[in-house]
Amino acid sequence: MEHCGYYLWEGIIFLTQILFAMGLLVLRRKANGRPSFTSADRQLFFSQARFRMLTPQFWTNLAIAALLCFFVGLLMQLVLGPLGAGILATAQLITFMGIVKKALC
């Protein structure tokens, strides 16, 4: 119970980071002359989910992405850890999203 305020504060910071990242995405799309909410976004958020069989290649790429995220996370912890949790979490979130996007797409 004594750490409840800490967890609440970290949750608020995490949600703020997500909203900030979404805002940057919208600004980047607008700067490039694209719509801020695309049909791919609409399909991702509002379409009916269909299950499909995942291939062994997908699982291999997912395992590679997980290992890369783990080792890059350790390195970032050593380098950016002393700078604070907010900077570390933001840098890790952006880096991990890039690794997963490159590995799975």
Query: pLDDT tens digits for 19-56?
Result: 888 888 888 888 988 888 888 877 777 777 666 767 88
Q: What is the rounded CA–CA span in Å between residue 44 and residue 21?
A: 17
Q: Answer yes or no: do 66 and 87 share one domain.
A: yes
pTM for the whole thing? 0.55
Please name which of 62, 73, 64 lies closest in space to residue 96, comparing C-alpha atoms: 73
Q: Answer yes or no: do 59 and 42 share one domain.
A: no
Note down the domain range covering 58: 54-105
Task: Please report the pLDDT score of residue 1 as a whole number.
Answer: 62
Q: Answer yes or no: do 30 and 71 share one domain.
A: no
Q: Answer yes or no: do 43 and 58 share one domain.
A: no
Q: Answer yes or no: do 61 and 40 share one domain.
A: no
Confidence of residue 72 (pLDDT cuts 50, 70, 90): very high
Q: Which two three-digit tokens encode residue 79? A: 């380098």
Q: Is 84 left (phi over 0), alpha (psi -120 to 50) or beta?
A: left
Q: Answer yes or no: do 36 and 61 share one domain.
A: no
Q: Is the pLDDT score of 3 beyond 80?
A: no
Give residue for tokens 């890059």: 72
Q: Answer yes or no: do 6 and 41 share one domain.
A: yes
Q: Answer yes or no: do 39 and 59 share one domain.
A: no
Q: Let me know how long the chain is.
A: 105
Q: Answer yes or no: do 37 and 63 share one domain.
A: no
Q: Answer yes or no: do 22 and 38 share one domain.
A: yes
Tally the domains of the chain. Answer: 2
Task: Please report the pLDDT score of residue 90 as a whole number.
Answer: 84
